[in-house]
């Protein structure tokens, strides 16, 4: 299965907060032999969030959505998820119990009496209003859960909560996924230009259908200076042969040198 990531919030796009989710999701997937296929950043605009979630739900891919599941006016993700799924919003009974448990814990810590009918406590239950039929994602930080609709999983924007929740989803719901059959090999090329090397790259992808060629140029590397990291990735059975063909093709260029990465 492909994995996608949606990061929601004006604060990311404005620069008030820096995204910490993508690097962590890449790390969590890599530990399981998987890769992130795509990522999107979306501001707090309901129509755009809804359309993005609708596409994610229709894709059949595993998608993590971070942010916007609270109960303040700038949190729209729960409502947009319901619109995207075509389901009504309902108070999830398990989420209600977890939120009430959290409120009781806070009251005990503060030495006060928990008043379930107090307006602010009633409002907090909105954090457990999810699309009908959603499944709970437990939150080990403060018990306020996230939720799943199919293969789209919704977690808070706070990394301290989101990251263990994503890890729980991977461990509990996708533990059976086999690691990708994937291999990657590359080398550093000096004295060459991408335009000159492009025909060789195109030939390799045509000759080895299970392999993709990548080119990562650098103009100011502190140790290597100007160079191109050129490589192949894909099915292990084809990568070795493609890499050998790559080296053979590079050796035919005059004035070009390369060494293994």
pLDDT digits (tens, 9 = 90+) for 208-252: 998 999 999 999 999 889 999 999 999 888 999 999 999 999 999
Question: Within 10 A of 70 (CB to CB), how many other CB atoms are there?
Answer: 18
pTM of the model: 0.88
Q: Which long-range contacts (CB under 8 A, 24 or more apart) does 214-221 make?
A: 214/186
Q: Domain ranges in the chain? A: 3-173, 183-260
Question: Within 10 A of 159 (CB to CB), how many other CB atoms are there?
Answer: 15
Name the more confident of 180 and 197: 197
CATH number for the region 183-260 comes to 3.30.70.1130
pLDDT > 70: percent of the chain = 100
The rounded distance, in Å, linking the Cα atoms of 254 and 70 is 61
pLDDT > 90: percent of the chain = 92
In Å, how far are 51, 198, 210 from 194, measured between CA atoms? 37, 6, 22
The residue count for the chain: 261
pLDDT computed for residue 182 by the predictor = 83
Name the CATH topology of 3-173: Molybdenum Cofactor Biosythetic Enzyme; Chain A (3.40.980)
pLDDT digits (tens, 9 = 90+) for 33-80: 999 999 999 999 999 999 999 999 999 999 999 999 999 999 999 999
Helix, strand, coil shares, percent, the chain, to 5: 45, 25, 30
């Amino acid at each position: 299965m492909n994995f996608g990531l949606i990061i929601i919030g004006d604060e990311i796009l404005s620069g008030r907060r820096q995204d910490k989710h993508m690097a962590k999701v890449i790390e969590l997937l890599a530990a399981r032999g998987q890769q992130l296929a795509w990522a999107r950043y979306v501001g707090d605009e309901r129509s755009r969030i809804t359309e993005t979630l609708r596409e994610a739900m229709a894709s059949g891919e595993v998608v993590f959505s971070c942010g916007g599941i609270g109960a303040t006016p700038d949190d729209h993700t729960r409502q947009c998820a319901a619109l995207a799924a075509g389901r009504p919003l309902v108070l999830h009974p398990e989420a209600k119990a977890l939120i009430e448990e959290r409120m009781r814990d806070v009251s005990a810590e503060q030495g006060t009496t928990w008043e379930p009918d107090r307006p602010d406590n009633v409002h907090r239950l909105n954090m457990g209003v999810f699309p009908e039929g959603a499944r709970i994602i437990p939150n080990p930080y403060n018990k306020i859960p996230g939720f799943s609709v199919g293969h789209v999983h919704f977690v808070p924007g706070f990394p301290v909560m989101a990251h263990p929740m994503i890890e729980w989803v991977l461990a509990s719901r996708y533990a059976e996924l086999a690691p990708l059959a994937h291999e990657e090999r590359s080398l550093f090329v000096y004295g060459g230009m991408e335009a000159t090397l492009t025909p060789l790259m195109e030939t390799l992808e045509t000759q080895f259908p299970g392999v993709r060629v990548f080119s990562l140029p650098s103009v100011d590397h502190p140790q290597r200076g100007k160079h191109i990291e050129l490589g192949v990735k894909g099915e292990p059975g084809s990568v070795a042969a493609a890499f050998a063909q790559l080296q053979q093709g590079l050796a035919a260029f005059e004035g070009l040198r390369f060494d293994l990465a």
